[in-house]
Structure 1
Amino acid sequence: MGENTNVPLLLLDSQTLSYVLGNGEFRFTNLKFDEAKAIIEMNGLENVVRCYINPEIDMALRNYVKVEETAFPYKETHEILVGQDAIAIKFYVTASGTQPIILGDEGQQAKKIRNVYVYCQHIIRLK
């Protein structure tokens, strides 16, 4: 965890992560879901800021990271401060190796076209 305790933990998605990486040196650490959950809970609801607008990130936090409360205040941000921590919740999408066709509830055909994976990274700005 970072040394800058006067700033909130930032929750980012891939898009907002690309904005904040413009200046500085950063360290990235891949996190297991339980590690991401522990960091978020350790900071407390009052010290966590949501920097994304994608509702699928909230779904991933609830369903996979198992964070019960995802009503974090929103703040647009363009940088991570030196010593500030962030967690990026990222989606990795691949084409489907198989494309089975299934029938929906009303008999319509649906085809699997992609696989979606979610993972978390801890980011801290070093300089």
Structure 2
Amino acid sequence: MEHKRDRNPLLLLDNSNMNTLFNEGEFKCTNMTFEEAREIVGMYDKDDILLCFTRPDTYDIIFNYIGIPKKDYQYKNIRNMRVNQDGIIFKIYITPSETQPIIYVDGVEAKKIQNVYVYCMHVLRTK
């Protein structure tokens, strides 16, 4: 029986670092729903999850909008995944806004210029 400390930590990744992980080995990537991402994170103890990004916008998106529980996850810069290690990639992409409405906030004019989208992908290093 596998002891939970013998299990590889779950990696939480984003666009900024996912390419460095794919430099050696074989990987399986699968799109996943936000609910599936929350369920996978919920299967791990806080100490068995590594936060592998530092971008504040990614942090805001996954913890405030997707609903991943905010905890004091340890940060680690990962360059190579271990065989049989799981990761969740939060892929963020930005498109120009098709409409650019102007709103007024505190008497100041503001214009919408872009849309922000995110989707989740499960990654597993197989070899």
Residue 19 of structure 1 corresponds to 20
Correspondence for 2:122: 122
Could you say which residue in structure 1 is the equivalent of 2:53?
52
Map of 1:104 onto structure 2: 105
State the distance in 2 between where 1:101 and 1:33 align: 31
User: Structure 2-normalised TM-score?
Assistant: 0.89
Structure 2 Cα separation of the partners of residues 89 and 70 of structure 1: 17
- CA deviation map 1:63-108 (0-9, x unaligned): 2321222321001110111111000112111110011111121x22
Does residue 85 of structure 2 align to residue 87 of structure 1?
no
Partner of 1:64: 65
Q: Share of identical aligned residues, percent?
A: 41
- 1:33-90 per-residue CA deviation (whole Å, 9 max, x = no partner) reads 1100110110121110001111222222222321222321001110111111000112
- Whole-Å Cα distance in 2 between the matches of residues 115 and 19 of structure 1? 26
Q: Corresponding residue for 2:77?
A: 76
Q: In 1, Cα distance between the equivalents of 2:69 and 2:27?
A: 29
Number of aligned residue pairs: give it.
122
Q: TM-score, normalised by structure 1?
A: 0.89
Q: C-alpha separation between the residues in 2 aligned to 1:83 and 1:120?
A: 19
Distance 1:60 1:50 in 2: 14
Structure 2 match to 1:39:
40
Please give the alpha-carbon distance, in whole angstroms, between the structure 2 residues aligned to 1:60 and 1:30: 17
CA contact (8 A) 1:61 1:70 kept: no
d(CA) in 1 for partners of 2:64, 2:57: 10
2:3 is aligned to none
